[in-house]
Amino acid sequence: MLNGSDSSKFKGGRQVLQIDAGLNDFEALAEESDRAIMLFPTLPEFYMYNGIAHVKLKNYDRAIESLNMGKALVFDNPGMSGQFYSSLGDAYHALEEHDKSDERYTKALDYDPNNVFVLNK
């Protein structure tokens, strides 16, 4: 579990999030990623986990907020940028904002033209 402010918890925290995601425990993933964001507010991957958790929990506005915040922190990592846009597309699709979802999915493909998740949507 992530708590305290010891930055040495970074690797352990990442592993906890990976386990939560692997177990499809999205409530725990949302809570733990919130803590990770508090400890490491400039690392985009924690916003990604948080956004994905909130999409799965149907907290779409919260997901969009987190994904947009994390997306702004990504530099020189096209794969991660594509993941952010793909997840944003999922959130907007769930809200039936299809123009916005199509735009995000297209942007995801700009970063990764072979993204099988986006291509299957």
* Nearest one of 94, 92, 95 to 106, comparing CA atoms: 92
91 half-sphere exposure, CB direction, 13 A CA radius:
25
What is the tens place of the pLDDT at every residue in 21-73? 999 999 999 999 999 999 999 999 999 999 999 999 999 999 999 999 999 99
Closest by Cα among 18, 73, 14, 17 to 41: 73
CA distance 11 to 81: 22
What is the pTM for the complete model shown? 0.88
Q: 98-111 and 78-94 helices cross at what angle (nearest 10)?
A: 160
